[in-house]
Structure 1
Amino acid sequence: MHPPITGTAAGVPFTALPPADGGPAPLIVTWHMLDAPRSDAAFAAALPMDDLPAWRVHLGMPMCGARMVDGSMDAGLELLRKDPMMSVLYPFVRQAAEEFPAALASIRAQLPVGDGPIGVLGGSLGGAVALRVLAGTDIPVFAGAVVNAAIRMRSVVDLFPGDYPYDAESGKAADSMDFVAKAASIAGRAPLLVVSGELDHLALRADAFSLVDALGEWSELLSIPGLAHPLADEPGIEPAPQLPAAREVDAGLTAWFRRHLTDASR
């Protein structure tokens, strides 16, 4: 097994895991959670998908991992307390999606991944990024997957204390990240695996079922017994041993992407 490769792609930090032979292979790109694992390196350790004959490039989310302010999550947590929707959830997803085309071009210049369709994977808030790439770009994708994903942003906001004071701007932003409502745009793009922990937040789990229903034959649901929302233990910034529930998610993702890898050469 080759060691991880770390670097930046158009300013976005990444942790890349090569295929077994270290040579040319299809590309799968991921975006991590804000819960543990909350960095590209930690997400790579939680869901390495080591048996895939593909490059797995785990991208860092804004203000996380190498982009933390003063080496901690304190600044991000303060933004969450100030205004979870408009200070963190919406701008983080928007920035990660908007910076992705340039990051992808840089990854292709640095690694032997070719220019064919890619796989996309996101966990929690990173799932919203993967869904936004599917729903809002024309980047060719051979298969996607999300894990305990932020599928409807209003459901995520409801997890924070108090009643959020939506106005016209924040309401529009939240609705722009309702991916059940955007299911028609996703369904025509690529098959999607929706992974949901049986102990995840009830609203997020309900959204997972709703998305699968809306996508129909374009999606599959993988329900993981014993899995709550996080995929790793706190603090979730540095790579850590893979938890049993994450190992089950990892096996499901590996099988899913392996099934669709033949489409990456089209």
Structure 2
Amino acid sequence: MNSPITGTAAGVPFTALPPAEGEGYAPLVVTWHMLDAPRSDAAFAAALPMNDLPAWRVHLGMPMCGARTVGDGPEAILELMREDALMSFLHPFVRQASEEFPDALASLRARLPVDDGPVGVLGGSLGGAVALRILADTDTPVFAGALVNAAIRIRSVVDLFPGEYTYDAESAEVADDLDFVAKAGRIADRAPLLVVSGERDHPALHADAFDLVEAVGRRAELLSVPELAHPLAEEPGIEPAPQLPPAREVDLGLTAWFRDRLAERG
């Protein structure tokens, strides 16, 4: 198996895994990792490598994570969470990762032998909100999307933080914009979607997964994984680690999903 390729694309760190087979140009699947373990592009690549997929899998680093950690790392992130869970923490992560994607994609196309066709997108936890934003709010051609324990409604994620969050007009507008069940029609028009949800994930996130699949309709499928909690890897989740059994089940499901969608694409 070929070794991972690491680098930066328009300033965004990445870990790229070459296709399982064949030579020349191949399709591209882009991922965004969780803020829980695995919380770096390299760790996410180890947790969900999709090794049997005949496509490049490029795992992008989220802002302020891994190589882009600033200040004293975890403490700086905790301070943002304490300041304002939505407006200082969750929303800036999703906004920056979404906004930097077009330039990162152009850089990847110039650097790697990927074809110029539609891409696949995959996001875990808060990275799922990034993948959903690419689907719902951009015109980037996408052949298939997938989510794992995703932040589908940001209000459900905010409710996981200690204390009661008080919304004002601005934060309520942001929360509405990051409610992707409300954008299900747009997502259904864009690409087929696999929603992977751990049965041991936070109950509200698990419920949101069911709601999104129902709202998207026939172009969405649900994969419910019995032993999967919210994280996909053990702490600290920064460096690549051996794949856990629930993550392997997710990995197999994702591989089959994207392989079948590529076959449909022709």
- How many residues align structurally? 265
- TM norm structure 1: 0.97
- TM norm structure 2: 0.97
Equivalent residues of 1:123, 1:146 under 8 A apart: yes
Name the structure 2 match of 1:9: 9
Name the structure 1 match of 2:67: 66
Q: Which runs of 5+ in 2 are unaligned?
A: none
Give the partner amino acid of 2:15.
T
Once the 2 structures are TM-superposed, how far is the Cα of residue 65 of structure 1 from its aligned partner? 0.8
Name the structure 1 match of 2:52: 51
CA distance in 2, matches of 1:73, 1:187: 37
Name the structure 1 match of 2:125: 124
CA distance in 1, matches of 2:24, 2:6: 17
Once the 2 structures are TM-superposed, how far is the Cα of residue 264 of structure 1 from its aligned partner? 4.7
Name the structure 1 match of 2:219: 218
Name the structure 1 match of 2:158: 157
CA distance in 1, matches of 2:72, 2:8: 17
**TM superposition outliers: structure 1 runs of 4+ over 4 Å:** none
Name the structure 2 match of 1:19: 19
SS at match of 1:193: strand
Give the partner amino acid of 1:9.
A
SS at match of 2:31: strand
Can you list the C-alpha shifts for 1:121-179, whole angstroms capped at 9, x where unaligned?
00000000000000001111000000000000000000001110110111111110000
CA distance in 2, matches of 1:55, 1:128: 22
Can you list the C-alpha shifts for 1:30-67, whole angstroms capped at 9, x where unaligned?
00000000000000000000000100000000000110
Equivalent residues of 1:32, 1:60 under 8 A apart: yes
CA distance in 1, matches of 2:24, 2:165: 49
Once the 2 structures are TM-superposed, how far is the Cα of residue 263 of structure 1 from its aligned partner? 4.6
CA distance in 1, matches of 2:30, 2:69: 21
Q: In 2 relative to 1, CA 71–118 (structure 1 residues): closer, same or farther, beyond 3 Å?
A: farther
CA distance in 2, matches of 1:17, 1:189: 26
CA distance in 2, matches of 1:46, 1:176: 30
SS at match of 2:54: coil
Equivalent residues of 1:116, 1:264 under 8 A apart: no
Give the partner amino acid of 2:119.
I
Answer yes or no: is 1:32 the counterpart of 2:26: no
Q: Which runs of 5+ in 1 are unaligned?
A: none
Identify the range of structure 1 (73-82 vs 154-163) with the bigger mean alpha-carbon deviation. Answer: 73-82
